[in-house]
Structure 1
Amino acid sequence: MKIFYRTLFVAAISSTAFLVWGKKNVFSSDSPSEETKKEAGREQQATTKRKVVYQKSDTTPKSNLRTAATASVAVTKTVDKATANPGDTLLYSVSVTNNGSETATGLTLTDNVDVNTTAIADSLWYSPIALDDAYTSIGNVGITVAAGDGVLKNDQVGIPQASLKTFTRTTARGGSITLNADGSFDYTPAAGFLGTDTIQYILENSIGSDVGVISITLANAIWFIDRNSGAASEKGTLAAPFKSLASFQAVNNGTGNNPKAGHTIFIYESSTAYSGSLTLLNGQKIIGQDASTSLAGIAGITVPSYSKSLPELAPGNGTSVNLTSSANTITLTSGGANYLIRGLSLGNKTGVGIVGSSFGTLTIAEASITGTGQALSLSNGTIAAPGTLLHHFQTLSSSSGSFGVSLTNVSGSLQVAQAGSAIANSTTTAFYVSGGNISVQYPGTLNGVRPVDIRNTTNSTFAFSGNISSTNSGISLSGNTNGTITFSGSTKTLNTAANHAVDIAANTGSTISFTGGNLVINTTTGDGIRSVGTLSALTVTGTGNTITVAGPAAYTGGMALNISGATIGASGLTFQSITSSNAQKGIYLNQTGSTGGLTVTGTGTPASGGTIQNTALAGIEVNSATSLNLTNVNVLNTNRNKTAQGGLVVTDLVGTSKLENCNVTNAGVRNAYIINGSGTSTLRVLNCDFGFSTATVANDLRQDCFEMRARNTANATVILTNSQFRRAGTKGIQLFAENNANMTAAITNCTVDRVGGQMAGVEVGSSQSAVMKANIDGNPVINATNESAINVYAGGTSASRTEATVRNNASLSGNGNINAFIDPVVQAFSNGNAKAIVLVQNNVITNSDGQAILTRTTEGTGTMDATVGNNNITIPENGFDGIEVRAGADVLSTTNRNCSYVHDNIVANNGTQGGSSFFVQAVTPGTVVQLKQKNGADVDTVANLWAANTNTGTVTGSYTEPGASIQMGTGFACLTPANTTVPTMVAEAPLEISTPVGMDSTAGQEQGKGDGVDSSFATIP
């Protein structure tokens, strides 16, 4: 570049310094055209002129020229006259040219002119300097630059002031520009161009001219779609948007100046939906005008200075961006990443709203999908968290399609805001998730062949808070690890016929919850709830939860509740009713942990808790579980194959449990069979019926009405109140502590009635080293045939102990065939080395074909401490003795002791088989009977003791085997049971039950040698 100045001098002056601006001559590949040069009228340079008056006679004017700084700067000076005379006017011209590659800035030109000249005023002129200008623009947007920041801002306009040549023209890269005289300009880029666009302009005055270059760098293209655009053409720019999705999609191929990966697509609102399909290239962002904040902010673009205004976003103004399609609406190109969809709605489609495979990361916010067709189909990618917007979708709905939402190996999160969302009529699955690590919040309703199928996810969270319904396949949850799945809608209705309504399998470390109540399940051959394999916690809470399984034929129905290996959570499983018929089992709980249990509440009326009936095996089977609470539940005609232990079979139950207002009747073998093997437990039975409705018939394998055993190290409490136990095949109630177990039992206000059949009444006892504490108090009827109405037993080692209170029972009776062995009505005995402590008080005993009351020890070193008082006994004509106290058996090694305090009893009508109101026997050498006397001087006969203790009846005598003894007196202190108060319901550690064992139901067989007895111990004579 050259810089010129011209000066006229007319007289001599001192040296004059001029500051001259330098400029690097920089051009793009488009050098100044010949037309431009011609228009400039001279070579690209700047000129300075000055006039002077010459004062000497020298013919050669003098001047010295120097520069203070150079950047490859060449300076030349000429004068218009070779010789001059005094008074002549001289015109000096100086040309400064920068031939270097660097801009010469801050250049100082000092011109020491001839001392014989004098400068002419206002004679200094210089040419303009047009410095290059650089701007930035968003692709497809453009800039509008005002005069103050225009091309003249950094230029030197020269003297006289230069003018700017104005124009409207096409730029080097296909854009358009209008340049105004004041330096302002408007620039519109070519569609899709990204890079640097250049435009040259000319600044000139009478001295010279210069060419400046405007450089505009374009980046971050935004493509615009506006179906209501008034532009004459469709280019996709801010000035000329595409008018349809199809116009955009036709060029969205990444070639040339067409849309490319990473570009942003903006869609304007319209009262009419856009129709078509979009396939996004890698990383493209599609933003609708319904988004909030700003277009540039969402797109991640910094708006440069002077940019044309981007469209304002307008969420919630009543007009929306709605896309519909006859195929898939938005497809994410496989192998891409960093997609963004925001501020728009997808309506009816025949395909899928958003579909993508191996899509990298997708960010969605302020979006909605509604109408026909599948909403989402995504696989192998990540949905980014919505951040401060909280939700990805305002609405996510689908009214048809194979799936509503399908996510396969997708991680991240999916959050939906509005409860008005709905996925309906899905022909396969409404909400399907397979694999991945994702957090899902869906508040909408779900309806389809299968409403929810979640499988093989890891560390995922699902919250479904809308209503759920199905008429086919139900909910399936399988193979999920360390996840949380919650269904909290107000209604969850699953009518699945042959399919499991809720099918849960192998969800290790996961928690699954149904909250909010109204889980209503109806099936035929499918299970109601099936959960197999490990699961950290399963809970069903709220009111109105019901399961009904109606098997179409015998033993073909599904199980209402089938849980094996899954832990029931602390909130438990709560149902209003559970009903099952014609199934293998009605309810099956196996290995369900120690935190929560099953509760069936009913509604306060009989059978309102459901009916389990006509099962091949147990109606209800519980193994290694916690807390079973059944209210108003019927278990009828179960175990029809008679291969299970009974109708209600419980093994290793932990937790405080209750059976209230239940009927457990007519089961094969036993009605209730409960085995507790470890831990601490409490079971309360209130207002229940455990009877059989008919007498024994041929091939009838019925045994006990209610049997419960504590084994090993168990600590069990059982309370039976206001309940009925009728027509048992063996025992009405059998309660036993075995091994090292402890059991506390209470039986109050219960009816135990043979009703014409043959059965024992109540049996309580201990064996091995166990402890039993029982209270049989205030029962209206306990009767038996050929066995005892009440049998109290202690057997086993010296650590074994039974303490029992039998009192205030209004009707105790027993009768049988006099040709067979007949047990006493009330029998208490110690066998082996065990201890028995018994109180038999204030009972009414009738129809005693055997003894009315018998206290005895048999073999070993065991002891009996019995208090028998205030009982009213009536002996039938062919009965045995009223009260008998016995020590010893037909075993010579017996050295046991029986201490009995018999007082204030009334015995009427001694039977012909015994003939005595009171009879005492010491039948084995080494055995001792100790009879406590109430008061007064010690007596020496059994008859006198009977009278001294204010008993009523006739005493015929006693029997003492040589080497044995019967001792009487006031000095004996017979122990009494410590548990004379009926225990109340306490919230202790749970009742645990061990594995059932085979039971011997043979009546009349002697049992219990040495270390314990089997189920027929009460038949010992």
Structure 2
Amino acid sequence: MNPGSISYKKLDPLCIPEIWAWNKVYLFFFLILLFPIHVFGQVDAPKRDSLFFDMNGNELVNPGDSIRYILVVKNPGGASVMTIVVPNGTDPNSSLNPASILTSPLALNDGPFAVTGNMGINVPAVSGVLINDFDDSPGDLSIVNAGVEISTAEGGKITISADGSFIYDAPSGFEGKDSVAYTLMDGTPAPNCPVTNDAWVTFQVSGMIWFINEDISGGDNNGTLRAPFETLAAFEAINGNGGATQPKANQAIFLYTPTSPPTQYTGGVTLENGQKLLGQGMSTTVADVTGIILPPFSFAFPSVNTTNPILANSSGNAITLANGNDIRGLDVGSSGSPSTGSGIIGTGVGSLKIDEDVSVYVSGSSSVSAINLNTGSGAMVNLTNVMSTNGTGPGVSFNNLTGGSIAISNSINITNSGDAALSFTSCTGTLQVNSLTINNKTSHKPGVIANNGGEITVTTGTIMVDEESAISINGTAIGSSGLNFTNISVDGQLTAHTAISLINTGSGPFSCTGGTLENIQNADAVRFSNTGGAIALSNMIIEDISASTDQTAGLFFRSGIDGIHGENVQAGLTLSGCTLRRFSDNAINGAAISDGLTNTVWNGLTLNNCVISFSNRYHVSEKGDDTDEGAVRIRGISGTVLVTDCTFSDGAQFLDFSTSSSQNLDMTVQGSMFNRTIKEFACGSPTVNVGGRGISVSVNGSANAVVRVGDPAESDDNLGNSFLNNATASIVIFHETDATGDIDVVISRNDFIIDDHLTGPPGCATGTFSFNFPQGGVSLNPGKGNYEAILSHNKFDQVMHAAGGLGQFTMTADENGTSEFYIHDNEFILPWDGPVRVLADGNGTCAMLFEDNTYTDGMVGGMGDDLDMPYPSPFNPFQVFVRNGGSLDITLKDEDFPLPDPAGPGESSFDAEVQTSGNSMRIYFDNCTAPDGFDFDNATTTTFLLYSETGCAGPPTTQAIMNGNGNTGMVSTTNTITCTTTPPTLPMITIPIRSTEVHPNTGLSINSDGAHELLRVAKEHLKLHYNKEPLGPITLAIADLPENELAHYFAGVITLDRDAAGNGWFLDETPEQSEEFELPEASAHFIATVDSPAYKKIDLYSVLVHELGHACDLMHEENEFMRSFIDPGMRIILERNLKSKQ
């Protein structure tokens, strides 16, 4: 044998082959490695020999014998060995038999294998423990205790199969290094060589998730994936106790959905900071929620997106939160079987996250709240349903949460909570509720409280409470989608809690479409302050809002208790189909909350189909107040006011408006009834009655106002209003002192009726001549600003007078403004005073035209009233007075004046007086009749001018002038009456033109370029056919005008509605041809054909011609291009108008 070497490349063997050799004398070799080889290097292998086979038995080595060599390789160091040196080699006369090499089993260490805490791995044979082990016959190797579960160094479990595959379960709660030894056995061992060999398998455990599964029972269940806790209580018993292997902060807990009874987990869980409680109902994978990336060979996370597991705690919280928890895919209780304890509760919740179909249902006196979250930052809470019944605390409460968002995607349902049903306080994030239902009528606790920050939105909801507020919001913004309720009902049961309070709510809207607010004492039913969003209430009842002093306080007492009180209502209030009745003070009060009197900001009001009655203690026996009170009283109103189809009765003043000092008012009142502002107490002194006006509008500062009462188109009786028994006046519209804005008024198609002519209530003495009964007239009073008014097609029936003026219609101009009035086609029936009284009292100028009015005289009064017998009506004649520097131009056309009471103060049917120096009156009578004559009195040496159609040569007598103008009646004069050939200035009033109908076809929105071209053409045509042109330049403006208003002219500007009141504009590119229209027989206007692009649209050309007429100081005239309304599809023909006029 020659010296040689044997090389090995394997790392970490414990035993290497024994070598058998044959050579003439055959040799056997065994090699045994006693120490691990770690690093490539070289070691010596000592050799022992022995005669293994003695062929002839002579105990000598002879040819044919066999010699056995045993090589023992030792590696005392940590370096791995590549080369083994065999000393002395082998004899050259021997030969080596390779097939004779035998080895002992060599088991090599495995790992470390990565494992997730409380999870396990299932390693296949191809990666198992045998894959790196060695033997001369690997098929004869086996593992001791194969298939038997054994414990690891740290308490884990491992089962190694015979093929080397294994299953390892990490120790419960353990993170770190774990290991286990296994023994390898050789089934065909070499002589004198070890039969077994040991190696270590190591594991590195990191990350952690706990498992709870109620379906599991029996065994050593310790919270791991394959041995989950059987109960929530088992987990709760060790959670956060501080043990090294117990649940701790920032770990995840997975809750399986039970499939067999019991189907819900009982008891509660208190989470540690950062823990995630994950129900199997969540839709996101466990890996995505936890961020855990499972290492190779890991068991899979449980499947998700099943039904939610349910937690229920009979007392105490189902889930108590810590900082930064994450909850998903589970429910607390169920709708059919709510938890009798509280739901999800936490203080200091940090960046809490609740998501993926979490619902909470709790019920019973052991519960406090369904949700109660207090103090956190960036919380993201998304719940599906929340229900709380009979809890001892707030149903749902969010407090002091900074940022983040809260959303309840389906519903919140709170019944009889022990505190506010929904509380959202001191938060800066958002709260969104899809559906909210609150019924606290039994517990007498508030509905919704939100204050001091954040934003709240409710898509739909209902609230019913007793003795408390339904909604109280202060300093929390309403979201852009608004707070929307189908029912809010509060029975205050005489407690002092405002039912709906919205204060500092930002720009979001609020609406409620039903419910009753009633029996509230010493508090307003509804209060708004600093609301930037529109507020709309419909189909609601607000009633019996009282003060505790209502029965005892004297008359004219203001308690400060209103149905609705608003301050700084920036986007207005809409009431539709509402009933408001029986109030201590006002039904609606717009004024500073601090005193209920001084001006505020209120932009817009709509009242539609409402009934408002018995405000101002009119329902309290022998009580009533009319000082600074009314049914609807708003100080500082601006924007659009629309009152339609409403009924007002029994209140001090029904609509009492005072404008802002700078913001404009556009007001329309149509189809409504105003019945009885008077309340009568006694037959005589000290107080007979209280009561004021039906409608009162005062205009302040530089504000402009347009007021339409009835039909501004002067054609539709259905749009008119009815005024019955209004105490001091039915309508008063006036400039406040020093106000300089413009007022435009149309009062048309209204009835003003007085049928109560007895002072005091029924049963009082008759024939007293006290006349302290309803007056009911109309008073229009210009000041320093411009004032234009049309009074047409109204009926005054036995009205006495208006606000101190001695006429059914009274005009008093008492400052230096400019005013114009057109009074036509009215009926003045049996006045109890005079039909008309005009007073130009100040150094302003006024132009008036009375035309085609009718005056009915006769007998009024009888048994049972203040006269107690019939007396002639009117008592006073038609009166016109000028004094204190006033200037009046007045034209009276086709007027048949009444015959007054001969015992009255007047001496004629018509009385005109210039009463003080420095005045001017110019008057024109055209075809008028005065059965008791005309009386002209120039009390001073100032100017009293009487217009003569036939000239002033002569000069003619006053009687001759009157006769020459076609008038009938004797004339009496005092002092100088001067003839003039200059007629009085006629009023040139530019009230907006309107469409007679609105079609759903919005069609064409206006194009300003096209409009300017049509304006140019319209100017040319107006000059060509009428020789009229505007006095100054005309500009166009485009805006969204109210209702069916098409356009209006003011101060050189024609403003056009953006879409022609919903009809759409027709912009004619060839207006000279009118080929889109046809001319029906006997018609004064073209009509668009059905196939025309102008069909059912508003002809912009015609509207521009009309408004240019206003710019030329032309008035509205029926059947002319200056008519006040236009039909869709109509084209005005200027040529035909001209012929008709000629």
Compared CA separation, residues 959 and 527, structure 1 to 2 (3 A): farther
The answer to whether 1:515 aligns with 2:484 is: yes
Is the CA contact 1:424–1:448 (under 8 Å) kept in the aligned structure 2?
yes
Cα deviation, 1:577-607, whole Å, max 9, x if unaligned, reads 33234344333333243323131x22xxxxx
Give the structure 2 partner of residue 874 of structure 1: 899
Q: CA deviation at 1:458?
A: 1.1
- What is the identity, as a one-letter code, of the residue corresponding to 1:447? T
Q: Percent identity?
A: 19
The answer to whether 1:843 aligns with 2:853 is: yes
Counterparts of residues 54-133 of structure 1 (less than 5 Å):
71=40, 73-78=42-47, 80=49, 95-104=72-81, 116-117=92-93, 119-122=95-98, 123-133=100-110
1:773 is paired with a residue of what secondary structure? Answer: strand
| 2-structure distance, mates of 1:263, 1:760 | 80
Compared CA separation, residues 260 and 355, structure 1 to 2 (3 A): closer
Compared CA separation, residues 733 and 203, structure 1 to 2 (3 A): same
Is the CA contact 2:874–2:898 (under 8 Å) kept in the aligned structure 1?
no
What is the root-mean-square deviation in Å for CA atoms of aligned residues?
Answer: 4.0
Counterparts of residues 3-42 of structure 1 (less than 5 Å):
9=1, 18-24=6-12
Q: CA deviation at 1:216?
A: 3.0
Is the CA contact 2:24–2:95 (under 8 Å) kept in the aligned structure 1?
no
1:654 is paired with a residue of what secondary structure? Answer: strand
The answer to whether 1:747 aligns with 2:772 is: no
Compared CA separation, residues 85 and 422, structure 1 to 2 (3 A): same
| 2-structure distance, mates of 1:177, 1:234 | 16
Q: CA deviation at 1:940?
A: 0.9
Compared CA separation, residues 288 and 232, structure 1 to 2 (3 A): same
The answer to whether 1:719 aligns with 2:700 is: no
Give the structure 2 partner of residue 201 of structure 1: 183
1:877 is paired with a residue of what secondary structure? Answer: coil
Compared CA separation, residues 295 and 510, structure 1 to 2 (3 A): closer
Is the CA contact 1:434–1:456 (under 8 Å) kept in the aligned structure 2?
yes
| 2-structure distance, mates of 1:282, 1:295 | 19
Give the structure 2 partner of residue 570 of structure 1: 534
Q: CA deviation at 1:196?
A: 1.4
- What is the identity, as a one-letter code, of the residue corresponding to 1:713? S
TM-score where L is the length of structure 2: 0.69
Select the residue among 427, 435, 441 that pairs with 1:457. 427
1:80 is paired with a residue of what secondary structure? Answer: strand
Cα deviation, 1:350-384, whole Å, max 9, x if unaligned, reads 2221123x433333334343332222222211464
Give the structure 1 partner of residue 387 of structure 2: 422
Give the structure 2 partner of residue 787 of structure 1: 806
Give the structure 1 partner of residue 985 of structure 2: 974
- What is the identity, as a one-letter code, of the residue corresponding to 1:613? R
The answer to whether 1:372 aligns with 2:340 is: yes
Select the residue among 903, 908, 911 that pairs with 2:926. 903
Is the CA contact 1:662–1:687 (under 8 Å) kept in the aligned structure 2?
yes
Cα deviation, 1:450-499, whole Å, max 9, x if unaligned, reads 4222222112223150422221123242423141231513xx242313x2
| 2-structure distance, mates of 1:702, 1:765 | 20
Q: CA deviation at 1:902?
A: 0.3
Moved more, 979-988 or 731-740: 979-988
The answer to whether 1:675 aligns with 2:628 is: no
Counterparts of residues 183-582 of structure 1 (less than 5 Å):
183-187=164-168, 190-194=171-175, 195-202=177-184, 204=186, 205-206=189-190, 208-209=193-194, 210-220=197-207, 223-226=210-213, 229=216, 231-237=218-224, 241-252=228-239, 253-255=241-243, 257-268=245-256, 269=258, 270-272=260-262, 273-288=264-279, 300-307=291-298, 315-316=306-307, 343-356=308-321, 358-369=322-333, 370-382=338-350, 384-385=352-353, 389=356, 391=357, 393-400=358-365, 401-410=367-376, 411-418=378-385, 422-437=387-402, 438-441=405-408, 443-449=411-417, 450-471=420-441, 472-486=444-458, 488-489=460-461, 492-497=462-467, 499-507=468-476, 513-525=482-494, 526-527=496-497, 529-531=499-501, 533-537=503-507, 539-541=509-511, 543=513, 545-550=514-519, 556=521, 558-567=523-532, 569-570=533-534, 572-582=536-546
Select the residue among 620, 636, 639 that pairs with 2:614. 636
Moved more, 459-468 or 200-209: 200-209
Q: CA deviation at 1:87?
A: 8.2
Moved more, 230-239 or 772-781: 230-239
Cα deviation, 1:145-175, whole Å, max 9, x if unaligned, reads 4433222211232369763342255443344
Is the CA contact 2:651–2:676 (under 8 Å) kept in the aligned structure 1?
no
Q: CA deviation at 1:282?
A: 4.7
Is the CA contact 2:692–2:726 (under 8 Å) kept in the aligned structure 1?
yes
Counterparts of residues 798-947 of structure 1 (less than 5 Å):
800-815=817-832, 825-845=835-855, 846=857, 852-860=877-885, 862-879=887-904, 880-882=906-908, 886=912, 888-891=914-917, 894=918, 896-908=919-931, 910=932, 917-933=933-949, 940-947=956-963
Give the structure 1 partner of residue 556 of structure 2: none
Is the CA contact 1:528–1:549 (under 8 Å) kept in the aligned structure 2?
no
Is the CA contact 1:444–1:466 (under 8 Å) kept in the aligned structure 2?
yes
| 2-structure distance, mates of 1:152, 1:768 | 110
Cα deviation, 1:898-956, whole Å, max 9, x if unaligned, reads 22210111222x2xxxxxx1233444335241414268988611111111111122223
Q: CA deviation at 1:285?
A: 4.6
| 2-structure distance, mates of 1:710, 1:219 | 79
Compared CA separation, residues 883 and 802, structure 1 to 2 (3 A): farther
Compared CA separation, residues 711 and 663, structure 1 to 2 (3 A): same
- What is the identity, as a one-letter code, of the residue corresponding to 2:960? N
Give the structure 2 partner of residue 733 of structure 1: 731
Q: CA deviation at 1:966?
A: 0.5
| 2-structure distance, mates of 1:362, 1:925 | 95
- What is the identity, as a one-letter code, of the residue corresponding to 1:315? T
Compared CA separation, residues 869 and 301, structure 1 to 2 (3 A): same
Is the CA contact 2:793–2:827 (under 8 Å) kept in the aligned structure 1?
no
- What is the identity, as a one-letter code, of the residue corresponding to 1:751? F
Aligned residues: 874
| 1-structure distance, mates of 2:233, 2:776 | 89
Give the structure 1 partner of residue 1034 of structure 2: none
| 2-structure distance, mates of 1:519, 1:710 | 36
| 2-structure distance, mates of 1:664, 1:697 | 27
Q: CA deviation at 1:215?
A: 1.7
2:827 is paired with a residue of what secondary structure? Answer: coil
| 2-structure distance, mates of 1:976, 1:263 | 86
Unaligned 5+ segments in structure 1 are: 1-8, 26-43, 56-67, 317-342, 603-608, 817-823, 911-916, 991-1021
Unaligned 5+ segments in structure 2 are: 26-36, 52-59, 548-558, 592-600, 618-623, 711-719, 758-770, 858-871, 997-1038, 1044-1142
1:457 is paired with a residue of what secondary structure? Answer: coil
Q: CA deviation at 1:850?
A: 6.7
Q: CA deviation at 1:837?
A: 0.9
Q: CA deviation at 1:133?
A: 0.7
- What is the identity, as a one-letter code, of the residue corresponding to 1:974? T
Cα deviation, 1:736-771, whole Å, max 9, x if unaligned, reads 134112212222322153843354722212112343
Compared CA separation, residues 831 and 108, structure 1 to 2 (3 A): farther
Counterparts of residues 566-605 of structure 1 (less than 5 Å):
566-567=531-532, 569-570=533-534, 572-583=536-547, 584=559, 585-599=561-575, 601-602=576-577
2:961 is paired with a residue of what secondary structure? Answer: helix
Q: CA deviation at 1:448?
A: 1.8
Compared CA separation, residues 533 and 250, structure 1 to 2 (3 A): closer
| 1-structure distance, mates of 2:992, 2:120 | 95
| 2-structure distance, mates of 1:235, 1:493 | 48
1:436 is paired with a residue of what secondary structure? Answer: strand
1:945 is paired with a residue of what secondary structure? Answer: helix
Structure with the larger RCO, 1 or 2 (CA within 8 Å, 6+ apart): 1
Q: CA deviation at 1:714?
A: 1.7
| 2-structure distance, mates of 1:535, 1:983 | 37
| 1-structure distance, mates of 2:632, 2:169 | 85
| 2-structure distance, mates of 1:714, 1:984 | 27
